[in-house]
């Protein structure tokens, strides 16, 4: 059997790894035809793994922060929380977008209130309300109150013993940012791999499309009771579509569709039954293209709408996640057709939520020690392999 450059040998039949029969789980095999081709169930249900992922996954890889169009003016900002970390994403006077921990350099206070990307605010400087330390939009310390320059309340110090505060030495803690078109990404690692390396061909492919010309039109946030990887796996395959998305697949030629796997992203190409007018797509190909970018971001090029969507699959804990679904069209006021389109997309989401919550109920029961993937679930296999690589890193 040949899949890309990898040559697989035909295997004997595989056996389900139930806990009561065989709780001997193994790491995810690089060979999808192996019996142990999926993450063991505990990686979906363990609170320790959830804590581990905050560092090993969300602290190491590029994570989507938000859309650059949300902050077009200097001083415009929003906040983004990833795990236990919250950052301020702000556009500077030089038009650059930067990210800083929402933590004051003085004594660690949270500085600005939670500010969603969909309702950004604007500030001339970043100010901590605790002792009024102020920073410019580059993160450099701009001013401290007079009480930090003299020691009037301390009988053991004279004013001239007070050392001044150097602006650049007391700046905010900056978080690495980079962009793919209008999409702003964060990386919390000290020396991260470049975004271009993690994104691979995804970067050039997305940047070839005029994504920045579209406006944010709608956001839906859903809390779903399953591990984030459960939903990520569901998004990444369409073997379940025929039985569970019957309205949607009436216009899709599933047999002609293709799932393309790359290092850190995979693309689901869904061929439409009938040709769709070019005006109803952003991309050239006559298909819907759903991009999954590890670890938890998707770009949904629908193929039947002059617009696109994004998903953020943010874990809350090991058993819950938030799906943050954003929709972008030529105008922030949606047409009736666009609203109908979003409703169809929401229907798909709700159908998937039912599926993944059912799957997670089963996984939580502890009956299954290690699932197994089919040959057309190679995108899910990639997801599981990346998770395992991250845990082992």
Starting from the edge strand earliest in sequence, which strands make up the sheet with 287-293, in order? 215-224, 320-329, 307-317, 297-301, 287-293, 265-272, 252-261
Q: Which is nearer to another protein, 121 or 140 (CB)?
A: 121
Q: Which is nearer to another protein, 219 or 240 (CB)?
A: 219
| Smallest separation (angstroms) from another protein to the CB of 224 | 7
Does residue 168 come out as left (phi exceeding 0), alpha (psi in the -120 to 50 range) or beta? alpha
Count the Cβ atoms, other than its own, within 10 Å of residue 48: 10
Rg for the chain, CA atoms, rounded: 24
* Whole-number Å distance between alpha carbons of 295 and 292: 8
* Whole-number Å distance between alpha carbons of 45 and 50: 8
Q: Which is nearer to another protein, 334 or 373 (CB)?
A: 334
| Smallest separation (angstroms) from another protein to the CB of 197 | 29
* Whole-number Å distance between alpha carbons of 295 and 195: 13
| Smallest separation (angstroms) from another protein to the CB of 353 | 6
| Smallest separation (angstroms) from another protein to the CB of 84 | 13
Q: State the sign of the Cα–Cα–Cα–Cα dihedral 329, 334, 337, 342.
A: positive
| Smallest separation (angstroms) from another protein to the CB of 55 | 21
Alpha carbon of 29 to those of 11, 161, 217: distances in Å?
13, 63, 42
Q: Which is nearer to another protein, 142 or 357 (CB)?
A: 357
Q: Which is nearer to another protein, 287 or 352 (CB)?
A: 352
* Whole-number Å distance between alpha carbons of 101 and 339: 36
Binding site for another protein (CB under 8 A): 79, 81, 114, 116-119, 219-225, 316, 322, 324, 350, 353-354, 357, 361
Q: What are phi and psi of 66, to 5 degrees?
A: 165, -175
Q: Which is nearer to another protein, 118 or 170 (CB)?
A: 118
| Smallest separation (angstroms) from another protein to the CB of 85 | 13
| Smallest separation (angstroms) from another protein to the CB of 242 | 20
Q: What are phi and psi of 253, to 5 degrees?
A: -100, 85
Q: Which residues contact 284 (CB under 8 A, 6 or more apart)?
A: none
- Measured in Å, how far apart are the chain's first and last C-alpha atoms? 31
| Smallest separation (angstroms) from another protein to the CB of 292 | 21
Q: Which is nearer to another protein, 220 or 248 (CB)?
A: 220
**Residue carrying structure tokens 């065989």:** 22
* Whole-number Å distance between alpha carbons of 352 and 241: 9
Alpha carbon of 306 to those of 153, 235, 326: distances in Å?
64, 22, 14
* Whole-number Å distance between alpha carbons of 313 and 322: 6
Q: Which is nearer to another protein, 100 or 270 (CB)?
A: 100
| Smallest separation (angstroms) from another protein to the CB of 359 | 12
Q: Which is nearer to another protein, 28 or 82 (CB)?
A: 82
């Amino acid at each position: 059997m040949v899949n890309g450059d990898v040559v697989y040998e035909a295997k004997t039949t595989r056996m389900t790894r139930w806990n009561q029969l065989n709780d001997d789980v193994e790491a995810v095999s690089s060979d999808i035809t192996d019996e142990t081709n999926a993450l063991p169930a505990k990686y979906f249900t363990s609170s320790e793994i959830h804590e581990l992922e905050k560092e090993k996954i969300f602290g190491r890889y590029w994570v989507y922060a938000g859309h650059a169009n949300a902050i077009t003016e200097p001083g415009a900002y929003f906040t983004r929380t990833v795990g236990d970390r919250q950052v301020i994403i702000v556009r500077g006077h030089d038009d650059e977008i930067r990210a800083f921990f929402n933590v004051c350099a003085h004594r660690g206070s949270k500085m600005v209130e939670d500010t969603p990307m969909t309702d950004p605010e604007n500030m001339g400087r970043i100010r901590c309300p605790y002792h009024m330390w102020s920073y410019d939009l580059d993160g450099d310390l701009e001013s401290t109150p007079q009480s930090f320059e003299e020691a009037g309340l301390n009988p053991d110090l004279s004013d001239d013993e007070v050392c001044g505060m150097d602006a650049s030495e007391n700046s905010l803690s900056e978080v690495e940012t980079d962009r793919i078109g209008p999409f702003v990404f964060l990386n919390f690692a000290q020396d991260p791999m470049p975004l271009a390396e993690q994104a691979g061909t995804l970067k050039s492919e997305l940047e070839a499309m005029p994504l920045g010309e579209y406006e944010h039109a709608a956001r839906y946030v859903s809390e779903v009771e399953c591990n984030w990887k459960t939903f990520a796996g569901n998004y990444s395959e369409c073997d379940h579509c025929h039985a569970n998305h019957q309205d949607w697949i009436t216009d899709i030629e599933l047999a002609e569709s293709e799932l393309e796997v790359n290092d850190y992203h995979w693309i689901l190409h869904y061929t439409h039954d009938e040709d769709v007018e070019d005006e109803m797509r952003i991309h050239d190909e006559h298909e819907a293209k759903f991009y999954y970018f590890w670890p938890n971001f998707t770009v949904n090029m629908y193929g039947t709408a002059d617009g696109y969507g994004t998903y953020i699959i943010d874990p809350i804990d090991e058993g819950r996640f938030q799906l943050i679904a954003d929709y972008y069209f030529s105008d922030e006021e949606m047409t009736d057709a666009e609203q109908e389109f979003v409703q169809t997309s929401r229907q798909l989401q709700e159908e998937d939520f039912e599926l993944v919550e059912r799957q997670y109920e089963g996984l939580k029961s502890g009956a299954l020690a290690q699932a197994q993937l089919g040959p057309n679930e190679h995108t899910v296999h990639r997801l599981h392999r990346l998770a395992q690589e991250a845990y082992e890193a």
